[in-house]
Chains A and B, each alone.
Chain A
Amino acid sequence: MQVIMAQALLGLNVGVFYAMLSLGLAVIFGLLNIINFAHGAMYMLGAFIALIGYSLLEQWFGISLQIGFWASLLVAPVIVGILGVLIERLMLKRLYELDHIYGLLLTFGITLILQGLFANYFNVSGTPYPGQPEALSGVVNLGFMYFPTYRLFAIVFSLVVCFATWWAIEHTKLGSRLRAGVENPDLTQAFGLNVPLMVTLTFAFGAGLAGLAGVLAAPIYSVSPLMGADLIIVVFAVVVIGGMGSIMGAILSGLALGLVEGLTKVFYPPAASTVIFFLMVLVLLFRPAGLFGKEK
């Protein structure tokens, strides 16, 4: 029983990263209809910004400003968000009239470029992130196991961010305008709302979420150019299972699939890396729109 509880908690730990990343993907897909393959690269970028800001800024640029972990939680999403704006304004905007696949290919290309650039300088075996705050470096005794304080913090923090995002989109005026803009851009524009700006900001927000997840992941996993590539395929499966574009679906299926994966590791480890795809196939067969998606 203790083993199962421990594994469930670990599964939840993985799940919050799935949830945060698939949330960003779902927001971008739901509101912009873009399959953003660069999401994994943006997650990786978030982690690297934290790393560079903490230890390399001075070495590289002679700037004696150290960006600690807490500041990175703010700085990295903003920088990744700005990059998101550039990508959306300069590139993706030109593809809106075309099929989904063009956006996917473009963002996939961006991923390969970013990964290549970082792999060229940082070796792919990963660099440790040294900036984990002292206050979170301990271990909590949960009775059934010792759990690193930092991981517990990451779980709580991510859950707060996920549900705040969901609430903002579903229950605020801003969110309702956004949804209106997506549903019928012409009509919304006629009401005097700047739809292109909303679209850009939404993309930036989704990208920023990935960057934030990257900062959160940095102290747990090594910061490596391939960290996003490893995760992104799983996250796509999570989004499909949750229902493309469904915000709550992305969050809940992210958490649930993390749990499923964690428990699979106890009962049949070799299947742990494929169980999510197995579920994806089942979901596509019986509920093609995903568990929380709406049939169109």
Chain B
Amino acid sequence: MFKLWKQGLASAIAITTLAMPLTATAELTDGKLKIGVLSDMSGVYKALEGPGAVIAAEMAVEDFGGSVLDQPVEIISADHQNKPDIGASTAREWIDAKEVDMITALDNSSVALSVQGLANDKKIITMNTGAGTTALTEEQCTPYGIHYVYDTHALPVGTATAMVKNGGESWFFITADYAFGHSLRDNTGAVVESLGGEVVGNVNAPLSTNDFSSYLLQAQSSGADVIGLANAGQDTVNAIKQANQFRIVQSGQKLAGMLVFITDVHSMGLDIAQGLQFTTAFVWNQNDEARAWSERFFERHGAMPTMVHAGVYSAVTNYLKAVEETGTDDSDTVRAKLGEMTLNDMFVKNGSIMANGSMLHDMYLVEVKKPEESESEWDLLRVVSKIPAEQAYIPLSESKCSLVN
């Protein structure tokens, strides 16, 4: 009897707590919701995130109606210049002086880690859409850090698995010679070997190498089935371009890009990039919903969205939803709500945010179309297969995050 009474009381309290936000008392701490887009606005990642991310965030706010809980939503943005100290000091100023409630974008792993650490101290949610490192949700995970679009585990798993299964059993890596490249290569190599494949060689190329021909010829003479490019951005573009000049793909070897954005493919052109396979979280014309959003984005930005741009839109939208549903901008409450939600929009289907901050969602293995298959300037990619979320991301049971185990 007493037990029953206790349960009744508990549920009564729970109902009241849940109902409270729906009453007129729901409001934001400072009368305004502010979202900060901190990105590389001028450097190597400008095209893949940068100003486009600000546009995506603004679109999200407009589509949400411009306000949440009858209070205006404001987007502010800044350039972190790929420098962790600048990123952290901007974030600090935003949080302390401008009362920013959530920070998104954050391409560049070192900037992302420093900002996520700072935001944790201040209890501010970060929704990272651009950085790659798994440390954000593993060794350095925080209760407020969310990693939204991809990580260095999700990218190679999909590509390597598919390629090994299609007969690409021996791999030679061309690796960008710094932490990101090495971890990408090691992760990919581990996948290849776990599937019975073999890593026959590796060459480390300095970051921002102009001429990859020498490394490509070493990869060619190794006789490997697949040349894995454990690099990004300009380095990947240069390597693929030069592989084409030396007829490496035409003579039977395959190229696998570990981190490629649609803007890179556009910059290379289909003649050169055709046949390249890589993993992405989003293809702008993968379905009608994505296409409609992307075309609106294109009108404003002049280029189709990368997976990061689409991710920013989705992250901001879902953050706003969580604020509205909980009736507060309190980070703990909003973060808890985000963890309960099933995310569904033009970017993500049935996504969920884990305790370690990793946003679990399906990824796609895509192949760059042949020039004759492409119907328009940005019609560049064909989806080869879907990589299920549980295969792409590190399972919670194996997580090194202190919040989980």
Contact = CB atoms under 8 A, between A and B. Distances in A.
Interface stretch (A81-89, A93-101, A220-228): A220-228
Contacts of B215: 265, 269
A126 B214 contact: no
Contacts of B269: 128, 130
Given A123-B263, A145-B217, A269-B203, A128 B241 contact: yes
A76 to B, nearest CB: 19
Nearest to B47: A123
B177 interface: yes
B233 A139 contact: no
Interface in B35-58: 42-44, 46-48
Contacts of B42: 119
Interface stretch (A3-11, A164-172, A179-187): A3-11
Interface in A122-162: 123-128, 130, 139, 145-148, 150-151
B206 A273 contact: yes
B210 A7 contact: no
B43 A221 contact: no
Nearest to B44: A124
Contact of B247 (A127, A146, A262, A265): A146
A3 B217 CA distance: 8
A137 B215 CA distance: 22
A202 B202 CA distance: 47
28 contacts: A3-B217, A7-B214, A119-B42, A119-B46, A123-B267, A124-B43, A124-B234, A125-B48, A126-B267, A128-B241, A130-B269, A139-B247, A145-B217, A146-B246, A146-B251, A148-B245, A148-B246, A150-B245, A220-B242, A221-B241, A222-B268, A224-B234, A227-B210, A265-B214, A265-B215, A265-B218, A266-B218, A270-B204
Interface of A: 2-3, 6-7, 10-11, 13-14, 119, 123-128, 130, 139, 145-148, 150-151, 220-222, 224, 227, 230-231, 262, 265-266, 269-270, 272-273
Given A125-B264, A147-B246, A222-B267, 18 more contacts: A3-B218, A3-B221, A6-B217, A7-B217, A10-B214, A13-B213, A119-B42, A123-B46, A124-B44, A124-B234, A128-B241, A128-B269, A139-B247, A151-B245, A220-B242, A222-B234, A222-B237, A265-B214
A122 B80 CA distance: 20
A113 to B, nearest CB: 14
B210 A126 contact: no
Interface in B276-300: none
A35 to B, nearest CB: 23
A100 B58 CA distance: 49
A14 B238 CA distance: 15
Nearest to B177: A270
Top-5 shortest CB links A-B: A123-B47, A265-B214, A273-B206, A148-B245, A128-B269
Contacts of A150: 245
Contacts of A231: 210
Chain A CB within 10 Å, residue with most, of B209, B245, B264: B245
A24 to B, nearest CB: 18
A126 B241 CA distance: 11
Contacts of A123: 46-47, 263, 267
Interface string B60-79: 00000000000000000000
A220 B210 CA distance: 10
